[in-house]
Amino acid sequence: MIHEMAVTDLQEQLRKLVRDVKSRAYVPYSKRPEAVVLLLSDGAWIPGVRVESASFSLTIPPFQNAWTTAVALNRRDIVAVVFSKPPDSGTRAFLEDLELSLSAQGADLFAKQSVALPVPDAPVMPFLSERLTVSHQGVLLAREVAARALAPYSRFPVGCLLQLEDGRCIPGVNVEHPDWTRTLCAERNALGTAISYGIAPSVWQAMFLSCVSDTRGTPCGACRQLLAEHRPDLPVWMDRGLENPPVLSRVDYLLPGFFMLQ
Ligand code: THU
């Protein structure tokens, strides 16, 4: 009984966090915000929100957003997930793969059965420890970040940084999924992290990208579209390997005439 009450209490705390995070969702089309919170083994947590795209099928669901953030931050020690809305069957199947099962307390909470859940503490800060002041260091850092990629199917690890005006860097890596359509690229991973943490596009300074095994690496069309919807003028630095200097472009040069609503 005591245990049940404690779990209920914890669930209320997590639900409150989800409600707060939900206001950061980018849902100009459906106007239906959605969010999740991932609780980690030490009580730290990671938010994830729904990020809609004018090119609708590119919409990032909240769990995918949060999970890819967790991978990029090297924090896969998830012990519970709380949803603002019960997840779809594909997401539920993936939660099972992560050994997170539906709690008796409600369809919005999934938890590891074997561990006692910690009390939620502070969110994980979504930044690398290094601040980036000289831009040529960005691709080198992006190359290091690529080691965090989860790319067992393509074996094509990608790392990126979204540098902010103050030099802090949000890491992004590609995160592949057994259902390939639920794979997310490094660039959209970093973008989704920024939005989930309420970091406005106006303070994004530049993106750095390294496809470590491809010296011609460049953002895919879907990433160009999502970036263009938020910051068409964002500079993008692309790694060209150890022998060559990186190439600098801009989102709207990479996707001229991109589709936008309004
Ligand atoms: N990928 C990225 O992460 N960024 C890009 O710019 C190109 C593609 C990833 C997605 C997938 O995991 C793998 O590379 C092959 O498409």
What number does the ligand 1 atom closest to the CA of 151 have?
12
- The three-state secondary structure class of 236 is strand
Ligand 1 center to residue 173 CA distance, Å? 9
- Token pair for 262: 């309004």
Q: Candidates 154, 191, 239: which one to mutate for ligand 1, based on the most atoms within 8 Å of Cβ?
A: 154
Query: What percent of the chain lies above the pLDDT cut of 70?
Result: 97
Q: What is the pLDDT of residue 17?
A: 98
At 153-212, the pLDDT tens digits run 999 999 999 999 999 999 999 999 999 999 999 999 999 999 999 999 999 999 999 999
**Domain boundaries defined on the chain:** 7-111, 136-254
Question: Ligand 1: which residues within 6 Å by Cβ?
Answer: 151, 154, 156, 158, 174, 176, 183, 185-187, 219-220, 223
- The three-state secondary structure class of 2 is helix
Class of domain 136-254: alpha beta
- Token pair for 68: 């890819």
- Closest Cα to atom 16 of ligand 1: 154
Ligand 1 center to residue 92 CA distance, Å? 24
What number does the ligand 1 atom closest to the CA of 175 have?
12
Q: Across all residues in the chain, what is the average pLDDT?
A: 95
Fold match, 7-111 / 136-254: yes
Q: What is the pLDDT of residue 5?
A: 52
Class of domain 7-111: alpha beta
Q: Do residues 58 and 259 lie in contact, with contact meaning Cβ atoms separated by under 8 Å? A: no
- Closest Cα to atom 9 of ligand 1: 185
| Mean pLDDT value across residues 53-60 | 98
CA dist 45 and 52 (Å) reads 23
Beta bridge partners of 150: 175
Ligand 1 center to residue 30 CA distance, Å? 28
The catalytic site residues sit at 187
Ligand 1 center to residue 218 CA distance, Å? 9
Question: 198: phi > 0 → left, psi -120 to 50 → alpha, else beta; which?
Answer: left
At 119-137, the pLDDT tens digits run 999 999 999 999 998 877 9
- Token pair for 8: 């209920």
Residue in 86, 82, 52 with CA at minimum distance from that of residue 66: 82
